[in-house]
Structure 1
Amino acid sequence: MEFLVTMTTQVPDGVTDAEVADVRAREAANTAVLAEQGRVLRLWRPPLAPGEWRTLGLFVADDAADLETVLAAMPLRIWRTDEVTPLSPHPSDPGRNQVALPAE
């Protein structure tokens, strides 16, 4: 099952730049593992205002509980709130890898 997750991070006052860098590095390493496992398919950055820290992610999980386990284990979760939207196939969806996309 696929899920669109809006992840909004708010670092609390008093957290040092070094602490933020450490958590972000651990988050990147964890996300790479999740991608290798096929759990994270895509990540996007929507337009952001100064000071906003938000990511949209396309995740794969068995169900909502399985997704929550994945999200709860992500290092940035200590400062993040997640909005989860379960996705179901659209009748006109050509399917993954069925439409040629331009190279970026």
Structure 2
Amino acid sequence: VYDCDVEDEAYESARHCNRTASSGYNENVHVFKGDISNVDIVFEACKSWYNEASKLKEGNINKSKDNTSNIANGMVRDTNAKLGCAVVKCPSETHVVCHYTPKEKADGEKI
């Protein structure tokens, strides 16, 4: 379910123009350098996250200790209850941040 409160949290995270997770939510971040429309950057972000998720093999979908599946993890979990996203134009790049609830599973736990 899309949630405006979760969107507000995603916006707060995105407006800092950092590339690191900054909240208690699952957080997907996509950064694009250069000039791009908000619509196009959302498509680019979704495509990037989908490509990451498509690399996971069925039956072996775990959160890895080296964090390589964190982005895909948020996209493939069927237990996410809420979603909110924001797009922020930073000085030299555009950030798309999406937040999901509930928080990620623990290291090595099946998703």
Provide TM-score, normalisation by structure 1: 0.32
Whichever of the two has the greater Rg, that structure is 1
Provide TM-score, normalisation by structure 2: 0.30
